[in-house]
């Protein structure tokens, strides 16, 4: 599986009173990983959205292995685990200094933004996302 990598820093608004990143904001990294993976294969999600496709999430799993702290430099490694007729399942891993801190997966469905009905994932994406 092809891995896509994005760098980011933990922001202060993402920390909580326990001194570590609040669990909610792991999802910000997942979304960033998806966006940048798509950009790498030449697809801007914003353009696809303007073309009338939305990407609602239907299933999410997230495991928190180690805490992240303010200003940590993190690496978001994203792979496309599976593509169904109209769904894409992404796997995300968040590393800091080579240590896995958060991992998870996120299944998204492509739907027509007018009708809400599922749309077929373009074949070109399959090749680009799953190819080695």
Nearer to a second copy, 18 or 98 (CB): 18
* C-beta neighbour count of 9 within 10 angstroms: 11
Nearer to a second copy, 49 or 126 (CB): 49
> Any residues with CB less than 8 A from the CB of 7 and at least 6 apart, and which?
73, 74, 75, 76
Of residues 64 through 103, those in contact with a second copy by CB under 8 A are 64, 67, 69-71
Of residues 4 through 23, those in contact with a second copy by CB under 8 A are 11-13, 15-20, 22-23
Where do we find the tokens 């909580």?
Answer: 16
Whole-number minimum distance, CB 79 to a second copy, in Å?
19
Q: Locate 96 and state its tokens.
A: 């800091």
Where do we find the tokens 């993402």?
Answer: 14
66, 129, 57: which is closest to 103 by C-alpha?
Answer: 66
- Choices 48-56, 78-86, 89-97, 119-127 (CB under 8 A): range interacting with a second copy: 48-56
Q: Which residues bind a second copy (CB under 8 A)?
A: 11-13, 15-20, 22-25, 27-28, 31-32, 35, 44-46, 49, 54-64, 67, 69-71, 104, 113
């Amino acid at each position: 599986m092809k891995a896509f990598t994005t760098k980011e820093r933990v922001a202060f608004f993402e920390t909580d009173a326990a001194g570590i990143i609040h669990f909610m904001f792991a999802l910000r990294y997942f979304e960033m990983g998806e966006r940048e993976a798509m950009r790498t294969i030449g697809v801007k999600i914003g353009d696809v959205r303007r073309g009338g496709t939305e990407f609602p999430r239907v299933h999410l799993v997230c495991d928190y292995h180690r805490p992240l702290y303010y200003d940590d430099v993190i690496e978001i490694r994203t792979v496309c685990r599976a593509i169904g007729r109209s769904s894409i399942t992404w796997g995300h891993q968040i590393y800091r200094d080579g240590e896995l801190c958060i991992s998870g997966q996120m299944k998204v469905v492509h739907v027509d933004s007018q009708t809400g009905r599922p749309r077929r994932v373009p074949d070109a994406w399959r090749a680009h996302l799953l190819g080695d």
